[in-house]
Amino acid sequence: MKQSNQAYFYGIGAIVLWSTVATAFKLALAHYTPLQLVLIAVITSIIALSGVLLIQKKLHLIKQQFLQRPLFYLQTGLLNPFLYYLVLFKAYSLLPAQQALSLNYTWAILLPLLAVPLLGQKLRKSDITAALIAYLGVFVIATNGEVTQFAFNSATGVLLALTSTLLWCLYWIVNTKDKGDPVVSLLLSFLVGLPFITIALLMTQSLPSWDLQAFGAAVYVGLFEMGITFVLWLVALKKADRAASMSTLVFITPVLSIGFISWILQEAITRSTFIGLGLILTALALQQLLPQLAKQRTKPQAVTEKV
């Protein structure tokens, strides 16, 4: 198999697995609290990522990278998994899966906006246009299409879902300063975050009870939301001729997710979800396409100037 074909094989595998996790969230949250789910999923992910590093013979890098930047991994561990997944799972517990999923995908719109003050990057017109369209979609989803009545089924759930996008963006912005092995860095974040998760759980709730379906769903989340799928995606990016060709596959994820939510959870997908998610995906597409179109327009001008 050619390397480019291998890239798509791994990339599509990662996309399909990520598409199933929203359904797994809801199945697990039917029996566990968000904090209990985070605990099981993070422990599962730690075991899985340790296994990957064992196979890659990189376990020695764990201590090495941590000692080089312990405060850095304290930041990332607090952001992800502790705060991010706790907030995200709480949002899923309050909202239908279709709504929480759609709202969470606005992180890609928020990221370039936050990069302006935090990384000193320039704000492009395409980012503003994409944000306006995406957050119009958020409003449609949050109000169930009743945009003139400002009626929210769960304002807290909507706020938490949007807060999760902020936490995720902050995590990735902090990670722009990371020069270590990405799998090792992710494992270190989980290892550092685990004590905070455990202490918070012991102080406020009981340990997770045994339920085969719920436990299986929680383990599934740990494997395919947090752990193995991340490794598959990294392999896809390394093998791809162009990383941009891989990034376009991400647009398939929410569409497939909606299909799994409808099929397995038997949620009736509302018209407002279709409209809102359509606006969000349109915004994501414009965010990528508009800068490319602008570059193409400037190329003929540069040629005529040389002539």
Residue spans of the domains in the chain: they are 3-306
Burial of 148 (0-12, 13-18, 19+ CB in 10 A): exposed
Query: Taking 80 as the threshold, does the pLDDT of residue 296 lie above it?
Result: no
Looking at every residue in the chain, the average pLDDT score rounds to 88
For 17-39, the pLDDT digits (tens) are 999 999 999 999 999 999 999 99
Q: What is the pLDDT at residue 197?
A: 97
Q: Which residue has the tokens 């990662």?
A: 14
For the stretch 48-82, pLDDT in tens is 999 999 999 999 999 999 999 999 999 999 999 99
Give the CA dihedral 11, 14, 19, 25, nearest 10 degrees: -160
Instruction: Go through 189-221 and write b for each residue having 16 or more CB atoms within 10 A of its CB, e for each that does not.
Output: bbbbbbebbbeebeeeeeebeeeeebbebbbbb
pLDDT at 37: 97
Amino acid 298: pLDDT:
66
Note the pLDDT tens digit of each residue in 120-157: 888 888 889 989 999 999 989 988 877 666 666 788 99
First to last CA, the chain: 46
The model's confidence at residue 303, banded by pLDDT at 50, 70 and 90, is very low
Q: Given this model, what pLDDT does residue 4 score?
A: 64
pLDDT for 272? 92
Top-confidence residue, 300 or 201? 201
Question: ∠ at Cα 115 (122, 275), nearest 5°?
Answer: 100
The pLDDT value recorded for residue 245 is 60
Length of the chain: 307
- Other Cβ atoms less than 10 A from the Cβ of 136: the count is 17
299 pLDDT higher than 90? no
Q: Using 50, 70 and 90 to split pLDDT, how confident is the model at 304?
A: very low
Tokens standing for residue 31: 């029996």
Q: What is the largest CA-CA distance in the chain?
A: 75
Range list of β-strands (E), 160-270: none
Read off the pTM: 0.90
Q: How many CB atoms lie within 10 A of CB 11?
A: 24
Local confidence band at 250 (pLDDT 50, 70, 90 cut-offs): confident
Q: Which of 95, 47, 96 is nearest to 268 (CA)?
A: 96
What pLDDT, on the 0 to 100 scale, is given for residue 306? Answer: 43
Query: Please, is 303 exposed, middle or buried when counting C-beta atoms within 10 Å of its C-beta (0-12, 13-18, 19+)?
Result: exposed
| Nearest-angstrom CA–CA distance, 188 and 204 | 25
pLDDT at residue 5 in the model: 74
| Predicted local distance difference test score (pLDDT) of residue 151 | 64
Give the model's confidence band at 237: pLDDT under 50 very low, under 70 low, under 90 confident, else very high. Answer: confident
Task: Please tell me the predicted confidence (pLDDT) of residue 161.
Answer: 94
